[in-house]
């Protein structure tokens, strides 16, 4: 008989059973069950439907009833899933407890094969896990701590960096209000940023679990994830950066040796000091302190000791200055004290600052006991006062510096107030140096020549003195008396002196083919700076070779001071020059502290009586005696003696009567260009 129900049950893909809930006997199984598990009707379900199962299955909803020795009430519906241990397929069961036709309590169980879904689900889960793993790896690999929190500010996720930064475990952080991680001082700020949903980075102080705080840069980003509003906060710890920033700032503003403010900071602080004083017009001062001859300490004891001396100096200056003053180091052995303006009266301010400067000088004179050394140092101090902002800081520093320079010039170990007149002179000098520097190679330097006369039976030119002339395009002729000392001071005398020697030698060479002048020699003035140069002798030697002159035609005029200064070395050099054939003269003789003892050692040829003794020779008895003495020295040592600056016949006659044979002066000819020499020389 066609039973439509049977047809339906057997054609469905689902497993359909009827099982006695007390005996577990399978009362009915459809075709699908039999296909899967064989003929199982009348058998015990757990034995047939699972592998090696000898007792009711503990995953079966009936199990718990069996434990309690009762049956589920009629009408109860269970839903459960299970992976079958025989065919390994996944089933989803829906079962309902009913009363069977014979009165037994049974469950009608329908099992739907969900193996494919399960596999898919597993794959999805696996993918999800992978994605989560990847996500975790990514968020853990940032250098920022990441805190993800919801709209209620509750932390829902953190990365490993965040746990390290805040000193919590992941579990401890999750669920906490994010404001627990913000230092109270930054609460308001963070609240404002979060409320405004601002996503720009900003600075905030953070709070660790242990209560300590750290500085961080925060950046939040709002997102909606699975319908939920969340905010991700990235926390970048900037403690190290801040430390470095501080260090950089310190390095930029402080001297690393003495830890005093450097030039940059000094200028800044001085600027504030002057501004603060703007409405008071009190007198403040800037003291430039420079150690005298500090270079010697460095050169002889090494830089290590030199550094210690500087550190000690900084300390000593600090002990003298007041708290409100600024003590700075400009570099090298230069220190500055900016004295806070406190007095309205200029004179009292001068007195006070003088006392302070004296104290500093005294303090620096005390012995420096460093590494078994006992140094004695002095310093020079330049002071400039200020009471308004009329002068710029750079100007004030320049003034104090120039005052310090004057203190050095004055013999060191003293203080000097800035003098505007001196400053003006220094500026003029600086300009002169600049012009001179440019002039050496600009064809504006000339050698003039002044004849030197020998009188035996008649007057005869025997040589000339080469005298430099500077024809400045702007300022006209500039006297060597004014620019030679400056050239010596700034070192320009070295190139200039070399140029003069070359000019003179080339002149001598040209004269070799002149019937009259070929007999003449040229006297060249040699500066002590030139002479001191180690290369002086070799330079002359190479020039003689270059121009191929007869060296005894060149007479080198040296000064007494040059010879007295460093006798041993000077003597060696002079002997070498003599050996090379040069003729030697002592210029301005009598003006230096002539020591006769050096004269006898020197292979010189000539003494030049300084013109200051000639000027009043006729009327001044003292000059007469000096000239007479020089002439007699010359005779005794067998030296030529030449009188320079002879201007009058009286002087000439007097000198002649005293036995002088050589003369130079306006009477015989002024210094002129080479081509005018014979024309303008008056030889009587």
Q: Does 30 bind ligand C2E (CB under 6 A)?
A: no
x-marked contacts with Mg ion along 477-516 as a string, rule CB under 5 A: ----------------------------------------
Nearer to Mg ion, 353 or 468 (CB): 468
Residue with tokens 């003599």: 578
Exposed e or buried b per residue across 571-605, where buried means at least 16 C-beta atoms within 10 angstroms of its C-beta = eebbeebbeeebbbbbbbbbebebeeebbeebebb
How far is CA 158 from its chain centroid?
A: 42
DSSP summary character for residue 72: P
Q: Which of residues 97-136 bind ligand C2E (CB under 6 A)?
A: none
Nearer to ligand C2E, 216 or 646 (CB): 646
- Per CB under 6 A, the segment of 2-10, 95-103, 418-426, 642-650 that binds ligand C2E is 642-650
What are the residues facing 203 on neighbouring strands? 217
Q: At 479, list the tokens.
A: 């006297």
Nearer to Mg ion, 459 or 612 (CB): 612
Number of residues that bind Mg ion (CB under 5 A): 4
Partner from ligand C2E, Mg ion, none binding residue 36, C-beta < 5-8 Å depending on class: none
Minimum CB–partner distance for residue 382 and ligand C2E (Å): 31
Minimum CB–partner distance for residue 421 and ligand C2E (Å): 26
Report yes or no: 237 and 146 within 8 Å, Cβ to Cβ.
no
Q: Does 674 bind ligand C2E (CB under 6 A)?
A: no
Number of residues that bind ligand C2E (CB under 6 A): 21
Nearer to ligand C2E, 285 or 494 (CB): 494
The Cα 342–Cα 387 span in angstroms is: 10
Q: Does 606 bind Mg ion (CB under 5 A)?
A: no
x-marked contacts with ligand C2E along 568-607 as a string, rule CB under 6 A: -------------------xx-------------------
Q: Helix, strand, or coil here: 58? A: coil
- What DSSP assignment string belongs to 216-262? EEEEEEEEEETTEEEEEEEEEE-HHHHHHHHHHHHHHHB-TTT--B-
Residue choice 20, 292, 588, 640 for contact with Mg ion (CB under 5 A): 588
Residue with tokens 């469950």: 107
x-marked contacts with Mg ion along 17-56 as a string, rule CB under 5 A: ----------------------------------------
Residue choice 30, 71, 450, 583 for contact with ligand C2E (CB under 6 A): 450
Q: Which of residues 526-545 bind ligand C2E (CB under 6 A)?
A: 527
The Cα 289–Cα 381 span in angstroms is: 5
Q: Does 645 bind ligand C2E (CB under 6 A)?
A: yes
Instruction: Please enumerate in sequence order all residues whose Cβ is within 8 A of that of 157, keeping only pairs 6 or more positions apart, or say none.
Output: 146, 147, 148, 174
Report CA torsion sign: 610, 614, 620, 621.
positive
Q: Helix, strand, or coil here: 404? A: helix
Q: At 85, list the tokens.
A: 């241990």
The Cα 279–Cα 270 span in angstroms is: 16
Minimum CB–partner distance for residue 405 and Mg ion (Å): 30
Q: Which of residues 472-511 bind ligand C2E (CB under 6 A)?
A: 479-481, 484, 500
Nearer to ligand C2E, 29 or 500 (CB): 500
Partner from ligand C2E, Mg ion, none binding residue 468, C-beta < 5-8 Å depending on class: ligand C2E
Q: Which of residues 604-623 bind ligand C2E (CB under 6 A)?
A: 611
The Cα 322–Cα 172 span in angstroms is: 55
Q: At 27, list the tokens.
A: 């009362």
Q: At 540, list the tokens.
A: 């002359």
Instruction: Please enumerate in sequence order all residues whose Cβ is within 8 A of that of 45, keeping only pairs 6 or more positions apart, or say none.
Output: 17, 19, 24, 25, 26
Report yes or no: 621 and 579 within 8 Å, Cβ to Cβ.
no
Partner from Mg ion, ligand C2E, none binding residue 467, C-beta < 5-8 Å depending on class: ligand C2E
The Cα 578–Cα 606 span in angstroms is: 13
Report yes or no: 544 and 523 within 8 Å, Cβ to Cβ.
no
Report yes or no: 520 and 452 within 8 Å, Cβ to Cβ.
no
Residue choice 11, 666, 682, 683 for contact with ligand C2E (CB under 6 A): 666
DSSP summary character for residue 44: B
x-marked contacts with Mg ion along 149-178 as a string, rule CB under 5 A: ------------------------------
What pairing do the DSSP bridges indicate for beta strands 415-417 and 379-386? parallel
Minimum CB–partner distance for residue 529 and ligand C2E (Å): 9
Nearest to 342 by CA among 317, 325, 361, 358: 325
Judged on CB neighbours under 10 Å (0-12, 13-18, 19+), 394 is exposed
Which secondary-structure segment (H or E) carries 629? helix 621-637
Q: Which of residues 533-562 bind Mg ion (CB under 5 A)?
A: 557
Minimum CB–partner distance for residue 610 and ligand C2E (Å): 7
Nearer to Mg ion, 48 or 587 (CB): 587
Which secondary-structure segment (H or E) carries 614? helix 611-615
Q: Does 525 bind Mg ion (CB under 5 A)?
A: yes
Partner from Mg ion, ligand C2E, none binding residue 481, C-beta < 5-8 Å depending on class: ligand C2E
Q: Does 647 bind ligand C2E (CB under 6 A)?
A: yes
Nearest to 393 by CA among 265, 253, 262, 267: 267
- For residue 307, the tally of other CB atoms under 10 A from its CB is 14
DSSP summary character for residue 154: B
Partner from Mg ion, ligand C2E, none binding residue 645, C-beta < 5-8 Å depending on class: ligand C2E
Partner from ligand C2E, Mg ion, none binding residue 85, C-beta < 5-8 Å depending on class: none
Minimum CB–partner distance for residue 580 and ligand C2E (Å): 19
Partner from Mg ion, ligand C2E, none binding residue 163, C-beta < 5-8 Å depending on class: none
Q: At 422, list the tokens.
A: 């001196």
- Per CB under 6 A, the segment of 86-94, 408-416, 427-435, 644-652 that binds ligand C2E is 644-652
Residue choice 265, 665, 672, 681 for contact with ligand C2E (CB under 6 A): 665
- Per CB under 6 A, the segment of 53-61, 326-334, 398-406, 665-673 that binds ligand C2E is 665-673
Nearer to ligand C2E, 273 or 447 (CB): 447
Nearer to ligand C2E, 450 or 551 (CB): 450
Which secondary-structure segment (H or E) carries 92? strand 90-99
Q: Does 587 bind Mg ion (CB under 5 A)?
A: yes
Q: Does 525 bind ligand C2E (CB under 6 A)?
A: yes
Nearer to ligand C2E, 602 or 609 (CB): 609
Minimum CB–partner distance for residue 557 and Mg ion (Å): 4
- Per CB under 6 A, the segment of 19-27, 279-287, 313-321, 643-651 that binds ligand C2E is 643-651
Q: At 361, list the tokens.
A: 């000088």
The site for ligand C2E (CB under 6 A) is made up of 450, 466-468, 479-481, 484, 500, 525, 527, 587-588, 611, 644-647, 665-666, 671
The site for Mg ion (CB under 5 A) is made up of 525, 557, 587-588
């Amino acid at each position: 008989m066609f039973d439509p129900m049977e047809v339906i049950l057997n054609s469905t893909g689902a497993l359909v059973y009827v099982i006695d809930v007390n005996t577990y006997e399978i009362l009915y199984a459809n075709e699908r069950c039999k296909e899967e598990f064989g003929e199982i009707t009348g058998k015990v379900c757990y034995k047939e439907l699972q592998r090696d199962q000898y007792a009711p299955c503990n995953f079966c909803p009936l199990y718990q009833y069996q434990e309690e020795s009762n049956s589920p009430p009629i009408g109860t519906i269970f839903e459960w899933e299970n992976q079958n241990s025989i065919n390994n397929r996944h089933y989803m069961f829906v079962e309902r407890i009913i009363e069977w036709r014979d009165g037994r309590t049974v469950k009608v169980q329908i099992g739907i094969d969900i193996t494919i879904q399960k596999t898919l689900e597993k794959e999805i889960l696996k993918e999800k896990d992978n994605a989560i793993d990847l996500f975790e790896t990514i968020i853990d690999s940032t250098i920022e701590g990441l805190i993800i929190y919801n709209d209620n500010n509750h932390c829902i996720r953190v990365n490993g960096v965040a746990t390290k930064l805040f000193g919590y475990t992941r579990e401890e952080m999750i669920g906490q209000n994010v404001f627990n991680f913000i230092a109270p001082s930054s609460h308001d700020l963070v609240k404002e940023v979060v409320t405004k949903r601002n996503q720009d980075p900003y600075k905030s102080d953070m709070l660790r679990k242990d209560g300590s705080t750290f500085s961080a840069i925060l950046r939040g980003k709002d997102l909606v994830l699975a319908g939920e509003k969340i905010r991700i906060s990235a926390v970048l710890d900037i403690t190290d950066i801040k430390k470095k920033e501080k260090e950089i700032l310190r390095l930029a503003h402080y001297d690393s040796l003495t830890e005093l403010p450097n030039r940059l900071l000094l200028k800044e602080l001085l600027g504030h000091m002057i501004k603060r004083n703007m409405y008071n017009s009190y007198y403040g001062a800037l003291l430039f302190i420079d150690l005298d001859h500090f270079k010697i300490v460095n050169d002889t004891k090494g830089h290590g000791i030199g550094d210690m001396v500087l550190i000690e100096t900084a300390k000593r200056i600090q002990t003298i200055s007041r708290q409100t003053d600024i003590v700075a180091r400009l570099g090298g052995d230069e220190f500055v004290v900016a004295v806070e303006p406190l007095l309205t009266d200029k004179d009292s301010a001068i007195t006070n600052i003088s006392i302070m400067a004296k104290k500093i000088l005294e303090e620096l004179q005390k012995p420096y006991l460093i590494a078994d050394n006992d140094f004695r140092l002095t310093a020079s101090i330049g002071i400039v006062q200020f009471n308004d902002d009329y002068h710029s800081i750079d100007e004030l520093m320049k003034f104090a510096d120039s005052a310090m320079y004057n203190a050095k010039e004055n013999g060191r170990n003293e203080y000097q107030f800035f003098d505007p007149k001196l400053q003006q002179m220094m500026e003029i000098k600086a300009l002169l140096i600049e012009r001179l520097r440019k002039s050496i190679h600009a064809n504006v330097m000339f050698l003039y020549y002044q004849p030197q006369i020998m009188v035996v039976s008649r007057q005869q030119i025997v040589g000339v003195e080469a005298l430099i002339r500077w024809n400045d395009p702007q300022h006209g002729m500039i006297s060597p008396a004014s620019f030679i000392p400056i050239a010596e001071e700034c070192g320009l005398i070295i190139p200039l002196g070399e140029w003069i020697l070359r000019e003179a030698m080339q002149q001598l060479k040209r004269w070799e083919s002149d019937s009259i002048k070929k007999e003449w020699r040229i006297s060249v003035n040699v500066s002590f700076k030139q002479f001191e140069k180690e290369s002086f002798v070799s330079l002359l030697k190479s020039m003689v070779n270059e121009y191929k002159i007869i060296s005894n035609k060149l007479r080198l005029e040296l000064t007494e001071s040059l010879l007295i200064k460093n006798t041993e070395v000077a003597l060696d050099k002079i002997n070498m020059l003599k050996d090379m054939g040069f003729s030697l003269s002592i210029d301005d003789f009598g003006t230096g502290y002539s020591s006769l003892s050096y004269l006898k050692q020197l292979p010189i040829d000539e003494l030049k009586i300084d013109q200051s003794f000639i000027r009043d020779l006729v009327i001044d008895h003292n000059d007469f005696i000096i000239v007479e003495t020089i002439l007699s020295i010359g005779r005794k040592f067998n030296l030529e003696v030449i009188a320079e600056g002879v201007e009058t016949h009286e002087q000439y006659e007097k000198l002649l009567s005293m036995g002088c044979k050589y003369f130079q002066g306006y009477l015989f000819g002024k210094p002129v260009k080479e081509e005018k020499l014979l024309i303008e020389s008056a030889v009587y």
